[in-house]
Homo-oligomer: A and B are copies of this chain.
Amino acid sequence: MSDSRKVLAGVKRADRRVRVDRPHAKYFRYQAPGVLSAKLAAEEPTTPLGQALARIRRALFGRPLSNEEELVERLPKWKALPVFSSDVMSSVAYATEASLFTLLGVGAAAFGWLLPISFAIVGVLALVTLSYRQTIRAYPNGGGSYIVAHANLGVMPGLVAAAALLTDYVLTVAVSVSAGVQALYSAFPVVTPIAVPVIVFSILVVMAVNLRGIRESGTIFAAPTYIFLGSALLMLGLGVLRTLLGQAPQVTGVIPAHVPAETFGLLILMRAFADGCSAMTGTEAVANGVPAFKPPEWQNARTTMLIMSILLGTMFLGTSFLAHVSGALPASSGESVLSQIGRSVYGPGPLWYLLQLSTMGILILAAQTSFADFPRVASILARDGYMPRQFAFRGERLAFNAGIVVLASVSIVLVVAFQGRVEALIPLYAIGVFTAFTLSQAGMVRHWFTERGAGWRRSAFFNGLGATVTAIVVVIFAIAKFALGAWIVFVIVPILIALMLFVHHEYAEEARGLEVRAQAVIPPPRRPRRVVIAAPAFTRAVVQAIRVGLTMAPDVEVVHVTADLDEGEQFSERVRQQVPGTVVVTVESRYRSLVNPFVRYLETSQEGHPDEVVIVLIPDYMPNHWWDRILYNQNSHRIREALVGRRDIVVLDVPYRRERP
């Protein structure tokens, strides 16, 4: 057959195939010759069990979404705000308190430092916001610190940022959900003994909602976020107003928490500052999440970022101010500072309960920001080959399921290990985020110097300033928090980086091993073939392998390794009589091992035939149940292991299972 006739025949054949399923509009849409598009029906499982599971999955997570629906799943600004900034806003509920907790060690006199520290923190926040607004414009397809540092500074800075950020998101989930449940038992002490199960359950709920896809998360989580915003802003407004009118709210009946006494000094101030800075984690989620916004993506993201920062600054300063005037402080009862302020402003009535409940809501939702960004960062890393590919796949609901599930699992492990004690986790916190900030902004400086677009000097100046300030924060963190537990981050991040480099190396090896040279035309098989069946017994599985072999060569060689020559004689009799076209070779193995003698036989009989390709067919009985596997031999697996990748040998597994009705 000439080449052109062959091609023609090929097209005809393709056409025939494709025409076949025109009547079956049930499963496929015909697009072009050789191109079909699967309908939703083609995805559905066909077994009753599979269908039942699919129904359950859809009830929990919704119907599958097609790729085209991705645009519909984008977030409008009012939904993006709860999804991406709940982390930042929720920190109002614990950042001030964390600073006070540290200051309490040197006595209530040190509380005077709270306001200056708060102003410093808000200053850093303003700089970071400014920087990220520039990044978002420069990287309209997503400008998280991994992308920016990787693109401008190189692989290692990129991975440091990524590892720091991933670590941080895990901690955020653990800390914020724990804090949320703490808010709950401020109001309902009955919850205290079952705190850990409640925390774990809450993480699972947030996970489940995120598996429904990002847009639905926005819808579901919008209400609690806006209720918290409303009740917190109302409280702050009323409190400030009363203070201005000379009737400052006063917290009563609080016994200060017992805190080990410390000496006042710079280190304490640095620690209090670092505690407060934990408010800023989650700021970068918007930059990573630009592609999740409705178009024009980058403009909407910038606006959302600005709103978020203004809200955070206002609420953080307001809380610190009211804590200062009302005398709220970390209580031995575990009642949070925010709850104390709320009680002093609202009195212990329904508004106070609403504040408590919505605080709990927003704290649990703070985890939402991590759930929105961790899977996205992981998917970018997986796309670049630094994490297992599974992280890059979108599930039925277009969510990055692997990332969501891994994030939930690891943070649950943390919560259980630390028994939900928030303060124990906070020292581990935020240092990663500020490392990522620094690297990202340093990368932006490099970016501006390379691009030199309009106004690049101004942009470079602000990013440079941001990088410098956040670097200082990192140093402060390292000094203030190292011994308290932040050293763990210095252990985890290098381990994560090593793992990521290892994964990258393995994928690169695989790609090299599997790459087909471009342009190389692969010739049809021309070398003489010898077909060998590894036959442990005369079974249907072996018969199937022999029949497959006979489609490749006019006769096949059935090699039977046995410890018992009589049995071997019977075997070869049966094969010769019952399967024409076979040559049986019996290899007696008096030492009872089966794999090595088979391999040696192949090698030996290959010698002197350098032109020949040996095709080894390995029949493989497939049991119906996984637990049946221990009942069967691993010999087929071991023969494959020994032969695959050898010169002039092609291995084919021929799995066999009884025909299903």
Residues of A near any B CB (own CB < 8 A)? 1, 3, 6-7, 9-11, 13-14, 17-18, 20-21, 24, 27-28, 31, 34-38, 40-45, 64-68, 388-390, 393-396, 503, 506-507, 510, 513-516, 518-522, 524-525, 529, 537-541, 543-544, 546-548, 550-555, 557, 561, 563-565, 568, 572, 574, 577-593, 596-597, 600-601, 604-605, 607-609, 615, 620-623, 628, 630-633, 640, 644-647, 650-660
Contacts and interface: CB of A to CB of B under 8 A. Distances in A.
A34 B586 contact: yes
A651 B655 contact: yes
Given A42-B596, A580-B3, A591-B64, A36 B522 contact: no
Contact of A645 (B647, B651, B658): B658
Nearest to A640: B655
Given A585-B14, A589-B43, A600 B27 contact: yes
Contact of A18 (B44, B585, B657): B585
Contacts of A656: 514, 644-645
Q: How many copies does the complex hold?
A: 2
A513 B658 CA distance: 6
Contacts of A66: 590-591
A607 B64 contact: no
Given A513-B658, A543-B516, A631 B506 contact: yes
A525 B604 CA distance: 30
Nearest to A587: B36
A631 B503 contact: yes
Contact of A623 (B6, B31, B510, B608): B510
Contacts of A600: 27-28, 38, 41-42
Given A14-B585, A540-B516, A555-B10, A521 B577 contact: yes
A18 B588 CA distance: 13
27 contacts: A10-B583, A20-B605, A27-B600, A27-B601, A34-B586, A35-B586, A36-B588, A38-B587, A38-B590, A396-B592, A510-B621, A513-B657, A514-B621, A516-B578, A518-B574, A519-B578, A522-B543, A529-B551, A620-B653, A644-B656, A645-B657, A645-B660, A646-B659, A651-B655, A652-B652, A652-B654, A653-B654
A51 to B, nearest CB: 12
B539 A525 contact: no
A612 to B, nearest CB: 11
Contacts of A579: 521-522
A36 B507 contact: no
